[in-house]
Amino acid sequence: ATPAATMVGTAIGAQNGVLFKGGDVLERAKDVDTVVFDKTGTLTEGEMELTDVVVFDADDQPVPDGGAAAADSDTPAIRDRLTEDDVLGLAAAAESGSEHPLARAIVEGAEERGIDVVDPDEFENVPGHGVRATVDGGEVLVGNRKLLRDNGVDPAPAAETMERLEKEGKTAMLVAYEGALAGVVADADTVKASAEEAVAALRERGIDVMMITGDNERTARAVAERVGIDPENVRAEVLPEDKSSAVEAIQAEGREAMMVGDGVNDAPALAVAHVGTAIGSGTDVAIEAADVTLMRDDPVDVVKAIRISDATLQKIK
Ligand code: ADP
Ligand code: MG
């Protein structure tokens, strides 16, 4: 493009809340044939809320009426007396050391229920899997199936509960206490109002739309279905350090990919993508790694970015 065309395109972008980092980005965006969206905070609001607490009793069965019923029963076993609030309180204490949106929703949900969230004696973050902490002298795990397995706790008894919650698009997390399954907590996020429209507009232009997330397969697919992304285009359970190689693998097929993300985890993937696009409210690390920033946090502006690039270059051809 001529310097004048680039200036016009950049200015039109800015007016629309689409910030291009330089003229070469503006030129590259028109060639994008695949858009890869991060899920949390990009297609969804990223504001998690605690939605469910399920207690598992000593026989590893979900307690139908929550912990309260178990507490009132004559069963003397201590594990039978874990209430919903106990499970949530343990999970919140363990998560109080974590900055993860999933963790913050658990702590806030516990506080809203009037639970006194204590500080853990020890705390360890297990990136991509959860947290491990010592609360009141007992070991607490909160996280995915792999976290429990790696720490010698069998997540299998919670399989049905986990699947039910995940099919609803929620992120379900297992809670273990002193080496045994204690319960399941779930957080849910709201899909952005325009996410579906953005996916439809991209597909109309012949652009393939994909989703990449660290979240589990079932939750990822439930969200993908809501926004119109094909299940085979979902890459789930991708570890933070593997997001960029996932984008590289997509590009190795000869595709020109735009990665759209908001998190620290997304930064390497934004850097390797043909075009990296950051959500404006995302982390500084993501914005620095990206070529384009969407100031309105709106997925529809991805289409605008491509359209502006297209229009700018067509004019000067
Ligand atoms: P995302 O890509 O959605 O940001 P992450 O890579 O951070 O996800 O985490 C992947 C999965 O690991 C989560 O879906 C969750 O099951 C588990 N996990 C990560 N951090 C935590 C945490 N602090 N508490 C509970 N579970 C967690
Ligand atoms: Mg994200």
247 by DSSP, 3-state: which? Answer: helix
* Atom nearest to 38 CA in ligand 1: 2
Q: Determine the residue of 149, 189, 211, 215 to mutate for testing ligand 1's pocket, defined as the one with the most ligand atoms within 8 A of the Cβ atom.
A: 215
What average pLDDT does this structure show over 4-8? 91
Between the CA of 103 and the centroid of ligand 1 the distance, in Å, is 9
The one-letter amino acid code at 316 reads: I
- Ligand 1 atom at minimum distance from 142 CA: 25
Cβ atoms within 10 A of the Cβ of 46, count? 20
pLDDT of residue 62: 76
DSSP β-bridge partners for residue 262: none
Q: What is the pLDDT of residue 80?
A: 56
Q: Which fold has domain 49-188?
A: Calcium-transporting ATPase, cytoplasmic domain N (3.40.1110)
| pLDDT confidence of residue 293 | 98
Q: What is the ipTM of this complex?
A: 0.94
| pLDDT for residue 77 | 43
Q: Tell me: pLDDT of 310 over 60.
A: yes
Q: Whose CA is nearest to atom 7 of ligand 1?
A: 128
pLDDT at 75 over 60: no
Give the pLDDT score at 73: 44
| Strand segments (E) across the chain | 18-20, 34-38, 49-55, 122-126, 130-135, 138-143, 171-177, 180-188, 208-212, 234-235, 257-261, 275-279, 292-294
Q: Which residues line ligand 1 (CB under 6 A)?
A: 39-40, 95, 98, 100, 102-103, 128-131, 142-144, 171, 173, 213-215, 240, 263, 265
Phi, psi of 176, rounded to the nearest 5 degrees: -115, 145
pLDDT band of residue 81 (cuts 50, 70, 90) is: confident
Residue from 24, 31, 38, 189 carrying the catalytic annotation: 38
pLDDT at 74 over 70: no
- State the chain's mean pLDDT as an integer: 92
Look up residue 198 and give its two tokens.
């953005």
pLDDT over 60 at 269, yes or no: yes
Segments making up each domain of the chain, as ranges? 3-45+191-316, 49-188
Ligand 1, atom 22, lies closest to the CA of 130
pLDDT recorded at residue 65? 56
Is 266 labeled as catalytic in the residue annotation?
A: no
pLDDT of 171 higher than 80: yes
Class of CATH domain 3-45+191-316: alpha beta
Q: Classify residue 200 as left (phi > 0), alpha (psi -120 to 50) or beta.
A: alpha
